[in-house]
Amino acid sequence: MTTMTEASVGAVREFKMPDVGEGLTEAEILKWYVQPGDTVTDGQVVCEVETAKAAVELPIPYDGVVRALHVPEGTTVDVGTAIIAVDTGGGTGVEPARETVAREPAEASAAGEPEQPQGRQPVLVGYGVAASSTRRRPRKAPQVPQASQVPLTPPAPQTPAEPAAAPATAPAATPAAAIQAELNGQAPVTRERPLAKPPVRKLAKDLGVDLTTVVPSGPDGIITREDVHAAVAPAAATEPAAASAAVPAPAPAPSVAAPAAVPSGGARETRVPVKGVRKATAAAMVGSAFTAPHVTEFVTVDVTRTMKLVEELKQDKEFEGLRVNPLLLIAKALLVAIRRHPDINAAWDEAAQEIVVKHYVNLGIAAATPRGLLVPNIKDAHAKTLPELARSLGELVTTAREGRTSPAAMQGGTVTITNVGVFGVDTGTPILNPGESAILAIGAIKLQPWVHKGKVKPRQVTTLALSFDHRLVDGELGSKVLADVAAILEQPKRLITWA
């Protein structure tokens, strides 16, 4: 007798929310890329989720046809909750290795050698894609009228002939050409899922903009933030005359906050759910503020020579193509100060009642992103040369602004720098990241009257603030570290003499 597998009898498999890294317990569904009735393959991305630390795309680990989406967009679910049902019947499912199929000898000889199961390469914690999947399957072109909503119940049963007739269409047009054709009154054109980065998708969701109606202006047809903003004004202008087929004249783009924060009906309050990065940040800051006794010290320093060095390094061939700014030299100054006073690079082990002095520096950089405040860190920053540090800083900032920072990039930090000066703020009293011993705040650098060589002259001046955990760092140690950073910024040649 032949033993049938679950897939061969048309079994429906439930794909559960995985642990996408670092022991996170929940995630929010940002966007579904499939709908009931769509065919999915092993490794295909089916949705984008946001955890407390990053936005990631989830691939499905088997083949089949989507039967139902259990969770709507914008819903936060716990790890282990079923979010999508896939029918793996028809011989297309990929079953786990623990299931075997017993064949009769005649069947086995007719089929030839049995296909060996292939191992999986982990993509996210808990599952992965097949070893043969070297690249993502081309995105399926959804029908335009169904792109704005995702039904939560399975569709009516279809005959096998219905899905087969769908591909018999003209070649897919580019997103820009398809949208222009519709605006000109021509027949709707089936087009691919729009290309956009996670922050842009989040912005479109907040503004209520359907990305399938946005004309992309970025390279390779990628939708930018400006494209989303530009789509808001024409949509509002054409509302009274929706029956007209003419393209409306462009209207001035409104501010970002207007459509997102001002509700219709003149409400006097807006409630914003606390979730994702903002929720995690709030919990971490409360825990840090009420666990570690904070002390903050300040120093105002003349950084004119540092600013001149920044301009000289921009012309150096070693830094060609790299981003050189005051933050680079301030970061290097802090690393030198930590080398001179290694006891500040430590952590408090509450369970063991021990101070853990770390002989490496994972330098955190606080970055303001569309998803909130993130603090990714540069691993082993103490061992990097100045050009290597510049390259790492540039990659860190670019990745954070694009919303591609991974959870691993935000783990294991030892000390942090936060640059409040970019907002025109003179200084502040930063709160420590949990598990770290110190955080340095950089104030705005601006011309101020300063006594230099016995005369009052306009000089480039800034204020530094160092917050530290008083359980680990006493006043003397904290003062020495802050004084060393200030001394290096005042006389950058100390980067050589103290290194």
Q: Which amino acid is at 260?
A: A
Which residue, of 165, 191, 223, is where some domain finishes? 165
- pLDDT above 50 for 246: no
Neighbour count for residue 289 (Cβ, 10 Å): 12
- pLDDT above 50 for 156: no
Q: What CATH number is associated with residue 382? A: 3.30.559.10
- Residue 193 domain boundaries: 175-261
Q: How confident is the model at residue 269 (pLDDT cuts 50, 70, 90)?
A: confident
What share of the chain in percent tops pLDDT 90?
36
| pLDDT at residue 166, rounded to an integer | 41
Q: What is the spatial order of strands in the sheet that 26-32 belongs to?
A: 55-59, 45-50, 26-32, 76-78
Tokens 């995105």 locate to 139
| Greater model confidence, 448 or 252 | 448
| pLDDT at residue 9, rounded to an integer | 40
Q: What is the mean pLDDT of the chain?
A: 74
Mean pLDDT, rounded, for 221-235: 75
Helix axes 198-207, 225-237, angle to 10 degrees: 20
Please give the positions annotated as active site: 470
| pLDDT at residue 360, rounded to an integer | 95
- Over residues 10-56, the pLDDT tens digits come to 588 899 888 766 556 788 888 899 999 999 988 888 998 887 667 77
Among residues 244, 32, 9, 40, the alpha carbon closest in space to that of 137 is found at 40
Q: What does the alpha-carbon distance between residue 132 and residue 117 come to, in Å, rounded to a whole number?
A: 11
Structure tokens at 267: 């409400």
Q: What does the alpha-carbon distance between residue 252 and residue 229 come to, in Å, rounded to a whole number?
A: 10
* Kind plus residue range of the DSSP H or E element containing 111: helix 105-111
24 & 78 share domain: yes
| pLDDT at residue 317, rounded to an integer | 92
| pLDDT at residue 247, rounded to an integer | 39
Which residues are 438's β-sheet partners? Answer: 415, 468
Q: Which amino acid is at 467?
A: S
Q: What is the count of structural domains for the chain?
A: 3
CA quadruple 224, 225, 227, 231: dihedral positive or negative?
positive
- Over residues 452-481, the pLDDT tens digits come to 999 999 999 999 999 999 888 999 999 999
What share of the chain in percent tops pLDDT 70?
66
Of 4-18, 179-193, 368-382, 396-410, the poorest mean pLDDT is in 179-193
- pLDDT above 70 for 180: no
Which residue, of 124, 141, 165, is where some domain finishes? 165
Neighbour count for residue 163 (Cβ, 10 Å): 13
> HSE of 436 in the Cβ direction (CA atoms, 13 Å)?
29
Q: What CATH number is associated with residue 123? A: 2.40.50.100
Q: How far is CA 348 from the centre of its chain?
A: 29
Mean pLDDT, rounded, for 287-306: 86
152 & 296 share domain: no
205 & 58 share domain: no
Mean pLDDT, rounded, for 379-397: 94
| pLDDT at residue 245, rounded to an integer | 39
The pairs formed by 115-124 with CB atoms below 8 angstroms and a separation of 24 or more are: 120/61, 123/59, 124/18, 124/19, 124/20, 124/21, 124/56, 124/58
Q: Contact, 83 vs 8, CB < 8 A? A: no
24 & 133 share domain: yes
- pLDDT above 70 for 215: yes
Q: What does the alpha-carbon distance between residue 192 and residue 153 come to, in Å, rounded to a whole number?
A: 24
- pLDDT above 60 for 322: yes
Which residues are 387's β-sheet partners? Answer: none
Q: How confident is the model at residue 78 (pLDDT cuts 50, 70, 90)?
A: confident
57 & 105 share domain: yes
| pLDDT at residue 248, rounded to an integer | 41
Q: How confident is the model at residue 306 (pLDDT cuts 50, 70, 90)?
A: very high
Q: Contact, 142 vs 151, CB < 8 A? A: no
Structure tokens at 151: 């039904």
Q: How confident is the model at residue 258 (pLDDT cuts 50, 70, 90)?
A: very low
Which residue, of 117, 145, 165, is where some domain finishes? 165
Q: Is the pTM of this model over 0.85?
A: no
Specify which of 37-46, 52-61, 235-244 reaches the highest per-range mean pLDDT. Answer: 37-46
